[in-house]
A and B are shown apart, each in its own frame.
Chain A
């Protein structure tokens, strides 16, 4: 089956410094869609980034990620972490064919930004 691996359970970073969250995957889908979801405390998960194009950088709210099918990765990065970025981040994939299907999630990475 499909799997998504997020190697860090917790990432702590000082405000203003860069942060990188790792995400790798295994899938049998021929075409795939990737998502980064962010979940703030006591809120619902919400989409942060989405991509299905190989080697194309996707950006939103200062975060960016590039899908690299050659290395099966979709790492999330930000050049300058803010206190408001403290949250739980999920990497997830889905097949991007025309059939409805659910997401396969990673375990999640909790980011704590300190002043």
Chain B
């Protein structure tokens, strides 16, 4: 069973460009989470999604950031008009569960390291 996949692993963007980060959850997992990790800091929750639904986006900046988890394909975290402060490692995690059960332990992908020049 393959783990959580994220791509690209490294992404360089200039200020004002768009960044698209992809996450494929583990097989059988229906819950996806996105976290941001700044240097020397812990992980900060951004958004929690189930297939085709955003369940909790309370940690997501109100502007420029969006996330989706379509019926088919990976979850996408999109950052528009990137700024230098967006430079960080972005981790995706998935967990098993159904809409009627609580999500279980989260399994993390290797992360995407975004650098904004």
A binds B: no
